[in-house]
Structure 1
């Protein structure tokens, strides 16, 4: 049974998610090389494939996992330095449909120790086989100084990148619509984030996004517009979150060897709030003549009024008479 608590104007749902720590994990990461799983993303093209990567000190490597938690492929980014990888996202290019993976080298435990941060964009591999991949690097700085961050997300419809800072007064920052590789891109603050956010992700349809903290997850319609706070399973160190491919549940993971990944169904109330709203049909503009014909047809159907053929004949006669009168008037001037 779904229990709901209202806290500071936000519904806190404790239903399927609250008991997740007592339910078996969705899968357990079995590769012992993955000992600090920090990011998590669902493949846009490969069914039942999930990507993750380690935290700092592990090199520019990410892993493709199957639904059994076993590694199906290991990928290395060529010529890339992994200073402090903290989050990842998956998306499709809105223009081309190309499946993309994004890796955020955005950790900064000193809140400004680095002059800039980096996000790497990679075309998702079409074949799940160990490989070295090329990546595009985008450099960023915040408009208001350095911050520590662990969450990145990409809007599925616009392709725009967002970074969520991990601080007591965290915030959401938007990247420019068009990213440049030849200069540093400026991140601009667009809204608040929960205390100590560890990850973030957009729903597959772009209707909402979620921000994870060590203790719970909050779903938003837009920055500053909360829908609900969803209880999460107790983890050793909650680090990652992603939506399932159908957008009906959240996946959340932790650091550590043999770390679990849990599937937390979104409560019906949240799904209802984020469901597409019917688009009102605008009134059809009609000319006076078309409206008259439609009205007379309606009268015919109801068995009342003047038959439409009679109206049409009357209009024709009136038009002819008007023409004759005009002709005579001109001739008699």
Structure 2
């Protein structure tokens, strides 16, 4: 998808400052590196419910109807799944695992800036055996009640199976709620139910369905689900990555796994608020009043030193100002 000039500059700078994580995983809770050379634009991430330590991912655009099962213990691909029964994907941005062993794939990006009259969601059963195979999927047509928009975040509640989307807007977007059950005939209209104060690139429910994590390029926010009306609780310690595109809870809910685009991209593990370190714990640290508009903070989990992060922000601000000056000229 199109990225602003400042973001591209930050991608180059952060990529130079950030050391890739490549530790051996234990049960899917540790950081790892995606090694498959076919995966160059990992844009979504979801922990398998059937295969411990395995994460589902996919490329962004121009790859085809494929899902990759990555073994976090080695970083190697355990299986590539080809989706059949669907059309040609346009801009696949997210993947989520719902109840009953169902995988949902969000072909919900819009490279035209929110002009496509509809987007798609694909649903398929999670394969019981990890091997290269074709799996038939159901394709759903999705429209928004308030007009077309770009989105990169797809969520499926682990208890109710209801599907949600968060649109992607630099000034912040909204959580959109789908019908109680998706229909393969006709359109499924998603309606805004709550604001999300973030330029969201992905989001995920905790395995118990009680918490919601939303990430952006440089920060994140966690919410209490609160019966379907999210209540903001604090910020997330999102690692600075070359192009931070994805987030998933680990299968046991104790960790948040953050992914990035690019070849040999790192998936970095952080303690999940309310999990692992105890109820209500947060690795973000510090009062919410110190957050930026993007939810970024000085969380100890960042993978670059504070000085490097400040340089990145300054470079981005300068280049963004230059870009705007040129447009005005």
TM-score range, shorter chain: 0.7 to 0.9
Contact kept, 8 Å, 1:44 with 1:91, in 2: the verdict is no
Deviation string 1:251-291 (CA, Å, 9 cap, x unpaired) is 010000000001111256985239xxxxxxxxxxxxxxxxx
Alignment partner of 1:258: what SS? coil
Give distance in 2, aligned partners of 1:214 and 1:24: 18
Number of equivalent positions = 250
Task: Calculate the TM-score normalised by the size of structure 1.
Answer: 0.72
Task: Calculate the TM-score normalised by the size of structure 2.
Answer: 0.73
Alignment partner of 1:114: what SS? coil
Stretches (4+) displaced over 6 A: none
The corresponding residue for 1:328 is none
Going from structure 1 to structure 2, the CA distance change for 1:87 and 1:271 (only over 3 Å counts) comes to farther
Give distance in 1, aligned partners of 2:163 and 2:274: 28
Instruction: Using the TM superposition, give the Cα deviation of residue 224 of structure 1 relative to its aligned residue in structure 2, in angstroms.
Output: 4.5
Deviation string 1:64-95 (CA, Å, 9 cap, x unpaired) is 11121101111111143111000010122xxx
Contact kept, 8 Å, 1:66 with 1:72, in 2: the verdict is yes
Give the alignment partner of residue 164 of structure 2, picking from 147, 162, 165: 162
Determine if the alignment matches structure 1 residue 207 to structure 2 residue 210: yes
Give distance in 2, aligned partners of 1:205 and 1:266: 13
Q: Please say which structure displays the higher CA radius of gyration.
A: 1
Aligned ranges 1:65-80 → 2 under 5 Å? 65-67=70-72, 68-80=74-86
The corresponding residue for 1:109 is 111
Alignment partner of 2:279: what SS? helix
Deviates more, 1:264-273 or 1:229-238: 264-273
Determine if the alignment matches structure 1 residue 234 to structure 2 residue 240: yes
Coordinate RMSD, CA, aligned: 1.9
Give distance in 1, aligned partners of 2:242 and 2:190: 31
Aligned ranges 1:177-188 → 2 under 5 Å? 177-188=180-191
Give distance in 2, aligned partners of 1:166 and 1:55: 15
Contact kept, 8 Å, 1:174 with 1:187, in 2: the verdict is yes
The corresponding residue for 1:88 is 95
Give distance in 2, aligned partners of 1:245 and 1:182: 32
Unaligned ranges ≥5, structure 2: 1-17, 23-30, 282-329
